[in-house]
Amino acid sequence: MNELVISGNAHVGDLWQFIADSVGDEILEEIEVTRRVRAPDGLASEPLTSAVVLTLAPLAAAAVLRLVEKWMETYRQREQLEIVLRGFSVSDEAGKAAERIALKHAQISVKYGPPSLPQRKA
Percent of the chain with pLDDT over 90: 17
Report which of 13, 9, 16 is spatially closest to residue 67, judged by C-alpha positions: 16
Phi, psi (deg, nearest 5) at residue 63? -65, -45
Q: Identify whether the C-beta of residue 64 lies closer than 8 Å to the C-beta of residue 6.
A: no
Q: Identify whether the C-beta of residue 43 lies closer than 8 Å to the C-beta of residue 37.
A: no
How far the first Cα of the chain sits from its last, in Å, is 24
Per mean pLDDT, which range of 9-18, 67-76, 110-119 is the poorest? 110-119
Model confidence at 119, pLDDT cuts 50, 70, 90, reads: low
Q: What is the DSSP letter of 107?
A: H
Q: What is the largest CA-CA distance in the chain?
A: 56
Q: What is the pLDDT of residues 5-14, one digit of tens each?
A: 887 666 788 8
